[in-house]
Structures are given as structure tokens and as C-alpha cells.
Amino acid sequence: MDAVRGVGGEPGLELPSVEVATDEEALKAFLRPFQGILLPGGVDIEPSRYGEKPHPKLGPVDPGLDEGQLAVARLALRGDVPVLAICRGLQIMGVAAGAALVQDLPSDKPSDIRHDVKEPKHALAHEVIVAAGSRLARASESARFEVNSRHHQALKLGESDAELGPFRIVARAPDGIVEGMEIPDHPFIIAVQWHPENLFLVGDPQARALFRAFVEACRT
């Protein structure tokens, strides 16, 4: 919320109830006053949402949060409201588009790269490589930069996969983990696996540019 305010936006912290989330017309009415949607980080997504059984190292889940955010994500995929999705938010958008998740990176995809640097929250963990000419590269004003990383799950896609439903994969970590995706023909849907809100608060230029691009898209 501080990052949105920091670039001139007016955030509201709301989530539809389960009753609203399961009624499409009620959900449309709930979203109507807003000019944009930000899906933030949070707890793990229930594996049943993408057709898998729980991994032994699955973290806490919140079925009500899953229900509300997935309903919002599916509606957003069919509309034209700007969306910025962060960490769990990227995973929610991926599941809404038909993807499964790697439930525990350290055990399922061991890597020399740390993806779970919890403290300090703005600590730079690894580089991301963004597709040149992508909306994410334009919004971040850079195609190669360092990011923080605080997650143990990720989209389950092969290194050569360039698309997921309507999404195009536009950023990866050096070990191949998906770090960014977007829908090229949508007015503005960008999803990132890192936490730009933490980097924004320490003056990171790419994080500030990304939030500014999102709020400007909401105004438009």
C-alpha cells in the first residue's frame, strides 16, 4: 500500500467474501469501483486448486483466500482492468490460467540460487533476465537487474515454455525459475515472482518504475 501511495495511487485493502467470489455478477459489482487490481504475496495455494496432492513441505494455506483471489484472477483474465501480481499473486494468475506449481523448490528443484532470503526483505538475492521489448522490461525500465526473493514455490513449467494460456513468460532467474509473465494484448497484466514493494521502500529504481507504470495504467 505504501508503494502504491508512493507513486500517487489510492489503495484499498479489500477481498471479496466467498459468497461474492462464487457469484460472478456480485464479483463484477464488487470490482466495479476499482481501477486496478494488485494481487500480493502470501501463504501457499492449496494443491487441489491445480489437481495435485499436498507436498510434505507445503506451507500454511488459506482456502478462503484462494477462492477469492482465483475468482478475481479468472475474471481479470477476461477483462481489461490493469493487474499487478506479486509472488503468490503470480502463482494465483498462473493457476487461474491452468498451471500447476512446484510445491517446494529446495527439494523439487535444487539450485545454487537462493529463492528464500527472508530477511532483510529488501536483500538482493539473484538476477532476473527480462525479455527485451516486453512490457515488463519497459515498465521496469531495464531488462536485467537484481531482485529480492522470498518464496519456496514457483510455476511448474519447462525451461523452453514461452507461453501459459494467454500469458507469455518474459522473465526468469538464471536457474530457469519463472520470475515474470504478462499478457501482450491486454492493456496491463504483469506478474512478478519477487517483491518489488520491499525494494520500492529502499529506493530501487526498477521497483519504483514498475509501480509507477501500474498506477499510470490504472489512471488510463
* DSSP-assigned letter for residue 21: H
Residue type, 24: E
Q: What's the 3-state SS for 32-71?
A: CCCCCEEECCCCECCHHHHCCCCCCCCCCECHHHHHHHHH
- Point out the catalytic residue in the list 46, 182, 195, 218: 195
Asked if pLDDT for residue 125 goes beyond 90, the answer is yes
* DSSP-assigned letter for residue 141: T
Query: Which CATH code is given to the segment(s) 2-219?
Result: 3.40.50.880
Please say if 218 is a catalytic residue.
Answer: no
> What length is written for the chain?
220
Residue type, 44: D
Write down the pLDDT at residue 158: 67
Write down the pLDDT at residue 147: 98
Asked if pLDDT for residue 21 goes beyond 80, the answer is yes
In whole angstroms, what is the distance from residue 172 CA to residue 159 CA?
A: 9
Paired residues of 129 in beta bridges: 144, 172
End-to-end CA distance of the chain: 20
Write down the pLDDT at residue 159: 60
Write down the pLDDT at residue 160: 59
Write down the pLDDT at residue 118: 92
* DSSP-assigned letter for residue 160: T
- Point out the catalytic residue in the list 46, 67, 87, 152: 87
Write down the pLDDT at residue 131: 96
pLDDT digits (tens, 9 = 90+) for 142-177: 999 999 999 999 999 866 577 788 999 999 999 999
Please say if 119 is a catalytic residue.
Answer: no
Write down the pLDDT at residue 157: 84
Residue type, 68: G
- Point out the catalytic residue in the list 46, 179, 182, 197: 197
Please say if 195 is a catalytic residue.
Answer: yes
pLDDT digits (tens, 9 = 90+) for 168-199: 999 999 999 999 999 999 999 999 999 999 99
